[in-house]
Structure 1
C-alpha cells in the first residue's frame, strides 16, 4: 500500500512541476460588429461613445484575468458590458424582427473541455450570454431555442426582463424603414453617408439620426480570452438581422460557424453576414487550418476571412486568439469595432486604416 501511495504522490509532484503558468500571456480580444464603418459615417460624439464602451468592456474582462479568474468569467463579464449598451446589436441594443420583436442569440465555448452552450431566438433574458453559459453548465444540451430557452433561463435564476426592456427608438426607426422598403436589412452593412443624403427613402434628415441609419452596422459582439491556466474561451452575442422573418438564426450561436474554442488551436468569435459564415463553418475552419496544416492563428484567420469568404461573397470579420496570446483580427469590410488588451496595454480600433 505504501508503494501505491508513493507512486500516486510522485505522479502528483510530476504533474505539478510540469504545469505551465500562463500569467504572462493572459490576453483578451473583443469585437462589436463589422460593416461599412467609415469616418465619413461617424460623428465625433458617436465615435467617442463607441471607444469608451469598448474600452470599458476590455478593462472589465482583463481585471478578472489579472485577479486569477478564468477565461470563461472574463468573456462573460466583457460581453455583458456590450449587451448592456444600446450602441451594439446585442442585448439592450438588439434590432427588431419583422413582427416587431427582439430575438437574440448567443453562444459560449470552452477550449479546455470543448463544452459549449448556445441559445437562439430568446426574448426575455437580459443578458443572453448568461443564458448560453447556463445551457453549457446546467443542461446536457448544447443549444436551446425560443420559449424553451427563455423558460430554462428563468428556472436557472437568470435575470428575466419584460421584452419592452430591449426597445430603443433608433432600432424601431430602422425597422419601420425596412418595412417601408420591404426588404431585409443586414445589421452589418449600410449606405454610405452621401448615398443616404441623396436617397428620398431613408426618412432621416438630422445628423443625429444619420448615425442610426447605420444601425445595420451595430452588429454582433464577441470576446475571446486566454487565462493564467492556459485555457481559451470564446463567446458571441447578437440581436440578429433587422426585419428578419420565419425564426431566422444566424451564425453567432452555431458552434463552429460564429463561435469556437479549442486549447489545441485557438478561440474564435465572428461577425458578419451570418449565412456565409454558417456555410463556410468559419470559426472551425480557422481552427482546422491550424491543427491540420500547422498555420499560425494569423495566417489561418487571414486565409478564411480574406480569401475564402471573399471568394464566396461573404462580408465580415473575426477575432481569434491562440494559447500563446497571439492575436488575429482580420475583416474584409470597411471597418470593425475591435480591441485587445495584453500585458496591461489596451487598444481600441474602428476603421480599416487603424493598425495594431
Structure 2
C-alpha cells in the first residue's frame, strides 16, 4: 500500500509540475512583436510618389490590424490570419486579389500557416476559387488531420468548410494583366505576402500567402505553402516567413534552417538569419521576416527592395520599402 501511495504521489507531483510549467509558459507577459512583408523584389525608387505612398499606407493599415489584435490580448494566430487577409484583399500585392497570371492566363494561389506552440500546420496549394487562401490553410490545420491540400481537392475542401469562394476572374487585376501581356516572362520574383507575430502569451505564428510567379507553368508550386521552406514557427526558437525565388528557398529549407541554427547551434535570431540569407542563398534570392521567442525581429533581403513593416509593445511602428 505504501508503494502504491508513493507512486501516486510521484505521478501527482509530475502532473502538477508539468501543468504548472504549461500555465507559466502561457502567462501574459504584456509583450508582443509583429512583422509583415509584402514581397521582396525590384520596386524602383523612382516609382511615382502616389504609388509609393499607396504601398506604405497599405502596410501601415495591415500592421495596425495585427497590432490592435495583439495589444488587446489576442492570439498571434488571429493576428497573422487577419493581417494576411487584408493583404490578400489588397490588389497591390501578389496574393489573393492581386495574384499574378500563370502561362495559361489563370490564377493559382498558395498559402501556409504554422502555430509555434504545438507545431501545428496547415497549407493549400494551387487553389483557384478560394478568396482568402490563408484562412483555408488555418482550417486545414484546425479541422483536418492533414497538413497540405492541393488543387481541386483544396478548392473542394474550401467549399465543404464554407470559406468564401469567388470566380477565378476575381483575382484578375488590370495592372497584373497588362504586365503579363507585355512580357509573358517571369516578373521580378518574390512578390508574396507574409506575417510573423509573437503574442503576449509567448505563442509564435508564421503565415505566408502568394499568387506565385508571373507566367509560371500551371501546377508549379513554390515555397509559400511548404512548411520548413517558406514558413516555420516554433515557440522555442522563432517564426519565419520567406519571400523570393521559391525554388531556392525549397532547396535550402530556409525557414526551418533558421530555427535549427538557433536550436542546435545556439545562434541568435540575427546570426541565424544572416547566415542563411548571406551565406547559404545567392544574392538576389529574396528576403525573410522573423521573430524570436524574446520578441526580437529581423527583416533581411538581398533584392533592391522589400515591402515590410514592424510593430511591438514598446511603441515601435515602422514601414519601409528600400534598404
Give the TM-score band, short-chain normalised. Answer: over 0.9
How does 1:35-184 map onto structure 2 within 5 Å? Answer: 35-40=41-46, 42-179=47-184, 183-184=185-186
Give the number of aligned pairs.
Answer: 316
Q: Deviations over 1:68-90 (max 9, x none)?
A: 11110010011111111000000
| 2:224 pairs with one of 252, 272, 286 | 252
Q: Deviations over 1:324-348 (max 9, x none)?
A: 1000111111110011111233100
Q: Deviations over 1:20-39 (max 9, x none)?
A: 63533211100000112231
Aligned to 1:347: 318
User: Helix, strand or coil: the match of 1:56?
Assistant: helix
Give 1:221 deviation, angstroms.
0.2
Q: Does 1:236 align with 2:208?
A: yes
Q: Is the 8 A contact 2:27 2:201 kept in 1?
A: yes
Q: Deviations over 1:225-279 (max 9, x none)?
A: 0011111000000000111114110110111111001111100000001111111
Distance, in Å, in 1 between the alignment partners of 2:162 and 2:31 is 34
Distance, in Å, in 1 between the alignment partners of 2:122 and 2:26 is 28
Aligned to 1:199: none
- Structure 1 residue runs of 5 or longer lacking an equivalent are 189-218
Distance, in Å, in 2 between the alignment partners of 1:105 and 1:16 is 34
Aligned to 1:317: 287
User: Helix, strand or coil: the match of 2:301?
Assistant: coil
Q: Is the 8 A contact 1:38 1:351 kept in 2?
A: no
- Structure 2 residue runs of 5 or longer lacking an equivalent are none
Give 1:2 deviation, angstroms.
11
TM-score, normalised via structure 1 length: 0.84
Give 1:17 deviation, angstroms.
7.3
Q: Does 1:304 align with 2:276?
A: yes
Q: Deviations over 1:185-243 (max 9, x none)?
A: 3434xxxxxxxxxxxxxxxxxxxxxxxxxxxxxx1000000011111000000000111
Q: Is the 8 A contact 2:42 2:188 kept in 1?
A: no
Relative distance call for 1:175 and 1:291 in structure 2 (3 A) is same
Q: Is the 8 A contact 2:41 2:188 kept in 1?
A: no
Distance, in Å, in 1 between the alignment partners of 2:266 and 2:104 is 47
Moved more, 2-11 or 258-267: 2-11
Distance, in Å, in 1 between the alignment partners of 2:305 and 2:161 is 38
Q: Deviations over 1:158-191 (max 9, x none)?
A: 0011112111101111111233xxx333434xxx
Give 1:61 deviation, angstroms.
0.9
| 1:185 pairs with one of 184, 187, 198 | 187
| 1:277 pairs with one of 224, 249, 272 | 249
Distance, in Å, in 2 between the alignment partners of 1:144 and 1:14 is 37
Relative distance call for 1:15 and 1:259 in structure 2 (3 A) is closer
Aligned to 1:338: 308
Distance, in Å, in 2 between the alignment partners of 1:86 and 1:54 is 13
Aligned to 2:264: 292
How does 1:3-18 map onto structure 2 within 5 Å? Answer: 7=12, 11=17, 14-15=20-21, 18=24
Relative distance call for 1:126 and 1:16 in structure 2 (3 A) is closer
Distance, in Å, in 1 between the alignment partners of 2:172 and 2:272 is 39
